[in-house]
């Protein structure tokens, strides 16, 4: 049987098509259920799906110019684009091909479109499918974007390197991150000892690599043309930087024409990454914030609007623990977040701190997560390359963090919060948390000697200048006497057989006292401020009481000392 269909339904109906059908154009209205259980359907015009379409074993043949659009996602069994035909997946639309995808029309005959409204998304399982994947460059002119190629063999040429009025007559900037030298390498630098040609292989975009890109023009739409990446993708990671704060940071990219899920339960091989909070971290640049945001695969929590979904053509940072590989496969692919190129959700036992500049509305975020068996280090802070961007971070043991994993507010009665304004002006600092999880949250501004109850008023307004001490704020989870006995921003913990007294945030000389549970003094020692002290204790396993005092305050802690 052969029919010509132009279907427009406005009532609830289910259609089962097990036979050979030719459709000039098909429109499924809301409430329509259409199933192609087997057989073949030939499309010679547009496919508009606002209903529900199911296809597992059937075959769709594109034999004209077909634009896929509508409010519903599309799952097809097999798809064949005939020679001379064109299949366009319109912006914001998604297609999953669970069987075989064949394109006989070449690169121009299959286009995933992108514009200001969003980007098309494709999940497929076939190798060597030629296509064009468009990328709309959003934001203001010259804004920076992390970029990644969804196809193989796309040369870095043509519309990707436009001419312009920059000093070198170009209208673009393109960089890659080189972890061994912890610096950005410019596309046109071919003379420096470490240059583009020494660190970038070939003239094409490398699938799985991330790129830093900006254009002088406002909102052009470029295209990646080649065979769509599919299946297992591996990218080598380096681990040789001399900078302890940047060692292991590699800029990688989403290699697929769909989003990928950082929390996918299968498809990832991330054993070469630094483990954090029971999972792995990835960092994405947020141009609105002028800062990086980070998301953790175990906690499911991110900063600066970064979520679990990494959009198609999106670059992102990971931190390697060794010189291994980041490997991903098709199970990580999803349609969610395809249009999220870049309000907070409140989780129990989570406290989010967000600072915002009232000059330009850029922002930064840090997280405290409670409920872990012991205090852990955290997620490394990746600072903005712009020195005028606000920076909010947490400091511990000579390292800076965006996220800290802590036991409870009993052992962490106060937590120092570091802030660099970037530029002089007015700012807000907002605490987001579940009021039922915290008995008290006080924000201390050490510069103006002010305390604010963040449970009563969660937003603190203040002025800052670039010359301010970064050690400006302290969060207190117990009551504080504002006039005397102020807690010092010091940390006491054990590391192996050493006792660590972290006074990096304490400027004055400080007296250390160590007592046993019977009150007997075991140690009295003066410690220099602004450094971290590592002490050896020749005492048996027991509960010890540590007290630190100087003219500006004191702090006392109980700690289980285990003799090694």
Q: What is the pLDDT of residue 283?
A: 98
Strands (E), 506-541: 510-516, 521-527, 532-536
Q: What is the pLDDT of residue 83?
A: 97
DSSP 107: G
DSSP 332: G
pTM of the shown model: 0.82
Q: What is the pLDDT of residue 64?
A: 94
Q: What is the pLDDT of residue 537?
A: 83
Q: What is the pLDDT of residue 22?
A: 60
pLDDT along the chain (564 residues), means of 10: 40 46 73 79 92 86 96 94 97 96 98 96 98 94 93 96 94 96 95 95 95 95 97 97 94 98 97 95 94 95 95 97 97 83 55 96 96 88 94 89 92 92 96 92 90 93 94 88 63 79 88 79 89 86 84 81 77
Residue 52 and residue 32 in contact, taking contact as beta carbons nearer than 8 Å = yes
For 240-257, b/e burial (b = at least 16 CB within 10 A) is ebeeeebbbbbbbbbbbb
How many degrees, rounded to 5, is the angle at CA 61 between CA 56 and CA 67?
Answer: 100
Q: What is the pLDDT of residue 21?
A: 55
CA distance 480 to 295: 33
CA distance 92 to 87: 15
**What phi, psi does 410 have (nearest 5°)?**
-80, -50
Query: For the chain, how are helix, strand and coil distributed in percent, rounded to 5?
Result: 5, 50, 50
Is residue 72 exposed (0-12), middle (13-18) or buried (19+ Cβ within 10 Å)?
middle
Q: Which residues contact 45 (CB under 8 A, 6 or more apart)?
A: 6, 23, 24, 25, 64, 65, 66
How many degrees, rounded to 5, is the angle at CA 392 between CA 387 and CA 398?
Answer: 95
CA distance 538 to 512: 16
CA distance 189 to 176: 11
CA distance 361 to 451: 25
Q: What is the pLDDT of residue 18?
A: 46
């Amino acid at each position: 049987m052969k029919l010509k269909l132009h279907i427009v339904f406005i009532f609830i109906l289910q259609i089962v098509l097990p036979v050979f059908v030719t459709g000039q154009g098909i429109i499924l209205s809301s409430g329509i259920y259409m199933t192609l259980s087997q057989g073949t359907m030939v499309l010679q015009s547009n496919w508009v799906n606002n209903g529900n379409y199911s296809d597992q074993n059937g075959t769709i043949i594109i034999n004209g110019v077909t634009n896929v659009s509508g409010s519903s996602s599309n799952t097809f069994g097999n798809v064949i684009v005939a020679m001379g035909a064109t299949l366009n997946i319109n912006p914001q639309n998604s297609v999953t091909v669970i069987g075989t995808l064949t394109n006989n029309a070449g690169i121009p005959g299959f286009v995933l479109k992108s514009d200001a409204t969003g980007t098309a998304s494709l999940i497929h399982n076939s190798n060597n499918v030629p296509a064009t994947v468009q990328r709309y460059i959003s934001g203001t002119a010259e804004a920076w974007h992390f970029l990644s190629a969804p196809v193989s063999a796309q040369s870095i040429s043509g519309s990707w390197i436009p001419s312009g009025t920059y000093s070198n007559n170009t209208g673009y900037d393109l960089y890659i991150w080189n972890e061994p030298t912890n610096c950005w390498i410019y596309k046109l630098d071919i003379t420096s000892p470490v240059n583009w040609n020494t660190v970038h292989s070939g003239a094409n975009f490398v699938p799985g690599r991330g790129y830093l890109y900006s254009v002088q023009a406002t909102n052009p739409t470029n295209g990646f043309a080649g065979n769509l990446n599919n299946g297992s993708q591996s990218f080598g990671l380096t681990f040789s930087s001399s900078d302890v704060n940047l060692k292991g940071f590699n800029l990688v990219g989403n290699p697929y024409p769909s989003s990928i899920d950082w929390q996918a339960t299968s498809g990832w091989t991330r054993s070469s990454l630094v483990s954090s909070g029971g999972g792995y971290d990835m960092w994405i640049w947020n141009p609105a914030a002028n800062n990086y945001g980070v998301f953790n695969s175990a906690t499911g929590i991110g900063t600066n609007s970064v979520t679990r979904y990494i959009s198609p053509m999106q670059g992102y940072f990971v931190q390697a623990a060794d010189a291994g590989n980041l490997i991903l496969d098709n199970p990580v692919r999803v349609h969610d977040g395809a249009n999220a190129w870049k309000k907070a959700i409140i989780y129990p036992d989570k406290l989010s701190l967000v600072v915002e500049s009232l000059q330009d509305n850029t922002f930064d975020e840090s997280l405290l997560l409670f409920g872990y068996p012991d205090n852990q280090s955290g997620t490394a802070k990746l600072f903005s390359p712009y020195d005028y961007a606000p920076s909010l971070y947490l400091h511990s043991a000579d390292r800076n963090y965006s996220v800290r994993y802590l036991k409870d507010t009993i052992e962490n009665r106060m937590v120092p919060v570091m802030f660099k304004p970037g530029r002089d002006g007015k700012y807000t600092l907002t605490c987001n948390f579940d009021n039922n999880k915290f008995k008290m949250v006080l924000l201390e501004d050490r510069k103006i000697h002010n305390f604010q109850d963040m449970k009563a008023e969660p937003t603190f307004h203040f002025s800052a200048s670039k010359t301010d001490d970064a050690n400006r704020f302290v969060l207190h989870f117990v009551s504080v006497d504002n006039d005397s006995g102020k807690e010092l921003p010091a940390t006491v913990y054990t590391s192996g057989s050493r006792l660590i007294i972290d006074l990096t945030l304490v400027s004055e000389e400080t007296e250390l006292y160590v007592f046993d549970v019977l009150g007997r003094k075991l140690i009295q020692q003066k410690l220099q401020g602004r450094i971290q002290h590592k002490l050896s204790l020749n005492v048996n396993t027991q509960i010890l009481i540590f007290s630190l005092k100087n003219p500006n305050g004191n702090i006392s802690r109980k700690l289980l000392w285990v003799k090694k």
